[in-house]
Structure 1
């Protein structure tokens, strides 16, 4: 039956995803198998970048009210709201842009897919600084686009990175430039002036620019958000993405959104959005989460304190971790590798000791460089993880 599939679908089959997550892997079964195989009481999921403190106490309070049961059962027999007026208004105040500038989707991956479908034709050139979020490559390839990569020197975004990207846009016709900020997976925050420099040139070369801020809240401050959405009024070629899956810790809600000042881009992306991308309950949880800015500020503070204590442990002379290299990050995740042990072997060793990490060894830009990524947990779990690292032998 493969001959009955579209040409682009058959093309998509030719590229295997480089991401550490796979659609055909049941993570819950994997965890149970590890427990049985190695006699583990618990397996810690350090491979997913969500907020380990959980969702807002405001949501917890609502979940515990007797009235919620009636609301949930009543909503099951109705289609969910499709205009998202309340959430639009809340986000508009948050980003200081008009409420009609938002487009919603079932998680950022679907929004990214809709963008690719909306703007890419087969043969278009797409520019991607790497390492980056692998989904950018997957969705662009599925549309038949040609992928052009710009590798980060020493895995850090700097002035040289901006110059090289600008040089590529001047020399070639690129339909789209994909950026994650903070960068997924390195966690580095890209300064606003670097984004604006790229935007300014992209607006002249006819290049669309997507800034995926899935981890953006980790770079915000208590009194303002540090988002490229501040540039939307000036640059209609910009699309800014955020999600409720990371710092808000609502990954199952699957609420992601795009902001754009271009009506044409919003209409195009909305064309590929299903009529009801997420449930009433998901929408309700997102509306509550966006209200609790105090909790987001608290999570950001906790994360920084945990990270400071983690760095203090690994930098001690007697840490026993001198064979490891950890990269600093502006988020709740850290990339790391071992001087002598490859990524697959290290990943397997840590899994056998009860710690699932993200294996980045196939990711474009850091392929075969031995990197894994871990999400910071509480101090006790972090110390157990470092104890497991100390046991590594080659």
Structure 2
């Protein structure tokens, strides 16, 4: 059996470990604080749990193939046509659709370095050239250098907004100036996996630019604010010409029936969504303030996580916190060997993290 040559150097995506994995590896019997994968600490919506219980007896059937009801609900939320919505098994699958439908192996994509690792992984899988543009000193997308890097072979520019792992964003004026200069053969993908947590009114959402006629595709997910990470449900919003093409490469029944029902249920639970978002905003401020008071550099974030520079103490602090049950995300793979990414938890989890960190620092001093 021969494998495509470009796949031989491909390394798998490094996911955050589960609670069960850590308990087994470290023999931890106490409470585990899962603050490494940017999940919703509230757990799923009660309405979701109810609809899942009612739907379990239907899993011997295929779901309705067009997913008309969920597309209509999302179209109403964003004030677009249902046909402009493309559903995926997580927003990752929408990225896969883009490579299948739009990019030949002699063409290229542009991404920031670092950014969400799956843009690069898909490009490697499909044998597509990758141009990486370093972030600015403020850890934002470098729009000027990205524009200078565009060629006739450039097909897609992937931009996570807020950026992962820094949590950074760019204002409306910067986006407008950037989009005005994009040639017509280039698609801009605005990945808003963390878009629900933006609270600065000067920061735009991609839907604004789509409605102004720019050739963009916005990625959205049910994994964060909507609490459905384990069911894998995401979607894209784009112009009709592109959404029709992407729907052609979509596998039939790509969304399972439980994810479909759960998506509909959580969209109706406005109280849960509001509570999830407010919890993040309050926890983000609390952790940022506390960590700054302890002398650590916290990068401004509009996501449901913060990136913190712990300096030379990073490995020691990571290991000590891990022994106490705190799962955090090291950022060495992203090019930040002295930083950790910390997902916002419940108030009591955030407070426990700060208390334990202070205890460790006191022992050090």
TM-score normalised over the length of structure 1: 0.83
Distance verdict in 2 for CA 1:221–1:62, change over 3 Å: farther
2:90–2:233: 8 Å Cα contact kept in structure 1?
yes
Given candidates 243, 248, 273, the residue that maps to 2:226 is 248
Matched, 1:340 2:318: no
Q: Deviations over 1:277-304 (max 9, x none)?
A: 1222211110111123343233222222
> Which residue in the other structure is 2:339 paired with?
371
> Which residue in the other structure is 1:198 paired with?
178
Distance verdict in 2 for CA 1:31–1:176, change over 3 Å: same
Shift of 1:172: 6.0
Judge which range, 230-239 or 273-282, deviates more: 230-239
Given candidates 285, 288, 299, the residue that maps to 1:327 is 299
Matched, 1:82 2:65: yes
Partner-residue secondary structure (3-state), 2:100: helix
Where do 5+ consecutive residues of structure 2 fail to align?
none
Distance verdict in 2 for CA 1:313–1:350, change over 3 Å: same
1:124–1:144: 8 Å Cα contact kept in structure 2?
no
> Which residue in the other structure is 1:261 paired with?
239
Distance verdict in 2 for CA 1:13–1:236, change over 3 Å: farther
- Counterparts of residues 307-318 of structure 1 (less than 5 Å): 307-316=284-293
Partner-residue secondary structure (3-state), 2:300: coil
Distance verdict in 2 for CA 1:125–1:34, change over 3 Å: same
> Which residue in the other structure is 1:358 paired with?
329
Q: Deviations over 1:65-95 (max 9, x none)?
A: xxx54x431x222111111111111111111
Shift of 1:34: 4.2
Q: Deviations over 1:130-165 (max 9, x none)?
A: 22101011101222222111111224327xx22222
> Which residue in the other structure is 1:44 paired with?
33
Matched, 1:209 2:180: no
Matched, 1:275 2:257: no
1:219–1:331: 8 Å Cα contact kept in structure 2?
yes
- Counterparts of residues 95-174 of structure 1 (less than 5 Å): 95-157=78-140, 161-169=142-150, 173-174=153-154
1:106–1:256: 8 Å Cα contact kept in structure 2?
yes
Partner-residue secondary structure (3-state), 1:362: helix
Q: Deviations over 1:95-143 (max 9, x none)?
A: 1111111111111112212212221111312111222101011101222
Partner-residue secondary structure (3-state), 1:154: coil
1:153, 1:107 → 2: CA distance? 29
> Which residue in the other structure is 2:351 paired with?
383
**Residues matched between the structures, number:** 361
2:289, 2:189 → 1: CA distance? 36
Distance verdict in 2 for CA 1:346–1:139, change over 3 Å: farther
> Which residue in the other structure is 2:56 paired with?
72
1:282, 1:76 → 2: CA distance? 11
2:90–2:232: 8 Å Cα contact kept in structure 1?
yes
Distance verdict in 2 for CA 1:305–1:285, change over 3 Å: same
Q: Deviations over 1:147-190 (max 9, x none)?
A: 111111224327xx222222223x66411100011111111233
Q: State the Cα RMSD in Å.
A: 2.6
1:20, 1:76 → 2: CA distance? 31
> Which residue in the other structure is 1:184 paired with?
164
Q: Deviations over 1:198-217 (max 9, x none)?
A: 33322x25111111111111
Shift of 1:238: 1.2
Distance verdict in 2 for CA 1:173–1:274, change over 3 Å: closer
Given candidates 24, 39, 48, the residue that maps to 1:33 is 24
TM-score normalised over the length of structure 2: 0.89
Shift of 1:373: 0.6
Partner-residue secondary structure (3-state), 1:189: coil
